[in-house]
Structure 1
Amino acid sequence: MLSAIVHEVAHGWVALRCGDATAKEAGRLTLDPRAHLDGFGSVVLPLVMALLGGPVFAFARPVPYDPRRLRHPRRDELLVALAGPASNVLQALVGALVLRAAWDPLLGAVVSGAAPFEVVSWVVTILSTYVSVNLVLCFFNLIPLPPLDGSKVVLYFLTGDARRAYYQIQQYAMPILVVALYIVPQLLHVDPIGRYLDATAGSLYGLLLGGL
């Protein structure tokens, strides 16, 4: 949820830089969880998904913004959309740098007996999970289906009939996600979103933390 909150604040901060102060006026440019947590998306949804045994994810309340207040609406909407995933990449980089910098001292502490193995293992697990979660959040949000950020990226490149056709597809976005996340893997034993995340988030995770 920390990563998701930073993701949402990044959207609002870039919108502010582009002329739209809606998020600031709503009190959403803060890391205080109380301003961002969503009863369904932050609590109920991840619990239900865990009980179903499939992929588990959660989301914070989307930060509001008004495209009419953006100085260059077409360009700035794309920048606002990309700000969230970009913030997750930055968080993953920070987590990876911290873990790499701490790796040798942590191992040395275990060998010397200065720190219990369980404590060091706990620290490594938290940092590596932080990297992994942020990479998954980045690339999952780039899937081109609303309300995910990837839908705004796709719209930037569409005009005319193609744009109208995409708007028609948007109404089926959530059913498509549910089918791809749960039904296709169960019935066809093929996990398209899992493969996509392995190829993107998984590969980048390997580049950042490979060798540790």
Structure 2
Amino acid sequence: MESLIATLAIWALPVLLAITLHEAAHGYVARHFGDPTAEQEGRITLNPFKHIDPVGTVLVPGAILALSSLLGGGGMLFGWAKPVPVNFNRLRRPKADMLWVAAAGPFMNFLMALGWALLLKFGLSDPLGTYAEPMREMGMAGIQINSVLMLLNLLPIPPLDGGRIVVSLLPHRLAWKFARIEPYGFPILLVLLFTGILGHILWPLIAIFQTLLATLFGF
């Protein structure tokens, strides 16, 4: 039980920030390109309670962490927040601006991964310091969750961010046909997850990204 509580304490802040700031970034960029919908609904905020989804932000990550802690495994931790409302028709150039709105979330995860890598570096620089171990563990947790969310969301499956980026880049006729996959996107993702295909796709990408971070920060 103590191990589980310690695990949840280390992961709580990185998971909360990774999921909620990802969504807030979508709203901020949408407002920049002309859609005030998220702002009007109070979703361009750092207040996590505005973004928390009881299942995706709390229950699912918590259950994965609990099982991982009890079984001694290292499953893929992921979750989601309440999607920020974006009305693409209100963007100044809906198809072109969709790319930037969609890319904002993964880019925020990229920036947070850099921040957590810096915290890990500080923890490693003074290994006997009072807060060194918590900094190392929280830094590693932050890198892990942001790596997963960034690369997962960049998969070219609507309605994931990567799917919307593809729709933005394709010619109109192909974009319209590709966008019709969106109602089936989540079931496709679940099939990939439970068949293990998703892990085979993501883990090598995550390993490459984390190796680049380790090289950049020297740890």
**TM-score band, normalised by shorter chain:** 0.7 to 0.9
Q: 1:50 to 1:30 in 2, by over 3 A?
A: same
Partner amino acid, structure 1, of 2:160: L
- Per mean C-alpha deviation after superposition, the further-off stretch among 141-150 and 93-102 is 93-102
Once the two structures are superposed, the pairs formed by residues 59-70 of structure 1 within 5 Å of their partners are 59-70=80-91
Once the two structures are superposed, the pairs formed by residues 155-174 of structure 1 within 5 Å of their partners are 155-159=167-171, 161-174=173-186
Q: Identify the residue that residue 13 of structure 2 maps to in structure 1.
A: none
Q: Identify the residue that residue 100 of structure 1 maps to in structure 2.
A: 121
Q: Please state how far the C-alpha of 1:149 moved relative to its aligned partner.
A: 0.6
1 CA distance for matches of 2:167 and 2:98?
Answer: 10
Paired positions, count: 196
Q: Identify the residue that residue 35 of structure 1 maps to in structure 2.
A: 50
8 Å CA contact retained: 2:155, 2:163: yes
Partner amino acid, structure 2, of 1:12: G
Q: Cα RMSD over matched residues?
A: 2.3
TM-score, length of structure 2 as denominator length: 0.79
Q: Please state how far the C-alpha of 1:63 moved relative to its aligned partner.
A: 0.8
Q: Identify the residue that residue 160 of structure 2 maps to in structure 1.
A: 148
| Match among 186, 193, 200 for residue 195 of structure 1 | 200
Is 1:85 matched up with 2:106?
yes
Q: Please state how far the C-alpha of 1:198 moved relative to its aligned partner.
A: 2.2
8 Å CA contact retained: 1:92, 1:134: yes
Deviation string 1:90-114 (CA, Å, 9 cap, x unpaired) is 111122123224422x22xx1xxx5
2 CA distance for matches of 1:50 and 1:103?
Answer: 24
Query: Could you say what secondary structure the match of 1:65 adopts?
Result: coil
TM-score, length of structure 1 as denominator length: 0.82
8 Å CA contact retained: 2:31, 2:38: yes
| Match among 135, 149, 169 for residue 137 of structure 1 | 149
1 CA distance for matches of 2:160 and 2:135?
Answer: 31
Deviation string 1:80-139 (CA, Å, 9 cap, x unpaired) is 0000000110111122123224422x22xx1xxx53xxx532220101110121111100
> Rg: which structure is higher?
1
Q: For structure 1, which runs of at least 5 residues remain unmatched after alignment? A: 186-191
Q: Provide the identity percentage.
A: 37
